[in-house]
Chain A
Amino acid sequence: AQTVTQSQPEMSVQEAETVTLSCTYDTSENNYYLFWYKQPPSRQMILVIRQEAYKQQNATENRFSVNFQKAAKSFSLKISDSQLGDTAMYFCAFGIQGAQKLVFGQGTRLTINP
């Protein structure tokens, strides 16, 4: 069975700083996808970034980037120039190619302070 672990329950940084959220996963599969989802106080979960395991290049979306280390089964999210609107719960998720379900981590509550 696949598992996803987020070891940082809470993090807090100052506005404009860079912050990195950690995620590790366990799988014996070779073809899979990894995701970071954001849940702001409004509760509407939205996709932040997605990484295909077969791609060596790390995914980037504006201020959000990932550090994907396949051998170490690590998938961290870096937020650069953090903004107040980045305050949210962040969930790491894993999905096997061809399978419907995603497995989520426990979440990290990120607070950006003014």
Chain B
Amino acid sequence: DVKVTQSSRYLVKRTGEKVFLECVQDMDHENMFWYRQDPGLGLRLIYFSYDVKMKEKGDIPEGYSVSREKKERFSLILESASTNQTSMYLCASSLLVPGKLFFGSGTQLSVL
């Protein structure tokens, strides 16, 4: 079975902390994505990557960075967490574009 694994289901951090959200997929997919989900706003794309070490900004990249050193792993980094980054973060991967996205179970991040 296809699997996208996000390292934490719930995370609580303090304002100003550096936060790492990890995502691993086992499907050998080229494309990986980080979305943010907020009530009433749906899913908004933060960053995506179409190959190792390649990344592209999505619609809301401010305050975030990403890293993709290996094909199966895509990390989202909050350099200095702020309260307005409290949200649900969803990682996804796909083989084709625009294709079926395979999602992780999400990380609910609270920044206090």
Interface residues of A (CB under 8 A from B): 4, 6, 9, 32-33, 35, 37, 42-47, 50, 91, 93, 95-107
Contact = CB atoms under 8 A, between A and B. Distances in A.
Contacts of B97: 95, 98-100
Contacts of A91: 42-43
Contact count band on B: 20 to 34
Nearest to B97: A100
Given A42-B105, A100-B50, A9 B40 contact: yes
A45 B98 contact: no
B40 A101 contact: no
Given A101-B45, A101-B48, A44 B100 contact: no
A95 B31 CA distance: 14
A6 B45 CA distance: 17
Contacts of A107: 42
Given A101-B48, A101-B58, A104-B44, 16 more contacts: A9-B40, A37-B101, A43-B88, A44-B105, A45-B103, A47-B101, A95-B97, A95-B98, A96-B98, A98-B97, A99-B97, A100-B31, A100-B98, A104-B42, A106-B41, A107-B42
